[in-house]
Copies of this chain bind each other. A is one copy, B any other.
Amino acid sequence: MEYSIGEFSKLTGLGIHTLRYYEQEGLIAPERNSGNRRCYCDKDLTWIAFIKRLKETGMPIKEIKHYAELRAAGDPTLSDRMEMLVQHRQALNEQIARLQEHKIKLDEKIEFYRNEIEHVQTRKLPTFAC
């Protein structure tokens, strides 16, 4: 299947302006039809899904652009791309670990607050909790 930018925008949830911006930044290069209109295909759909994944995991546009360039160069860049992904997985694992640590601390703080609120009215002095 082929899609106009409007259709593709709805399918990806990305906004027409954003799609044009991504093209300008070199993330995606849709075909053009006779009248110079962008013509996205199903491969673009899976590619955008992957771009969204990379973005949501904190990869900046510049780096995604680099990956896109390697991808466009075909099989000879397979191992370069894999190396990028392995690096990114490493960063992602660290990010998840940090967030889990933050979650533990946040849980503790909430417990502390729950306790404070329970007892604040039986005390005379204020606590000034964080």
Contact = CB atoms under 8 A, between A and B. Distances in A.
Given A92-B99, A92-B106, A103-B89, A113 B78 contact: yes
Contacts of A130: 46-47, 50, 71
Give the bracket for the number of chain A residues in contact with chain B.
35 or more
Contacts of A86: 110
Copies of this chain assembled into the complex: 2
A89 B95 CA distance: 16
B89 A110 contact: yes
Contacts of A120: 75, 78
Counting from the closest, the 8 A-B pairs by CB-CB distance are: A82-B113, A75-B126, A57-B102, A78-B117, A96-B99, A85-B110, A89-B106, A53-B102
Interface of A: 46-47, 50, 53, 56-57, 71, 74-75, 78-79, 81-82, 85-86, 88-89, 92-93, 95-96, 98-100, 102-103, 105-107, 109-110, 113-114, 116-117, 120, 126-130
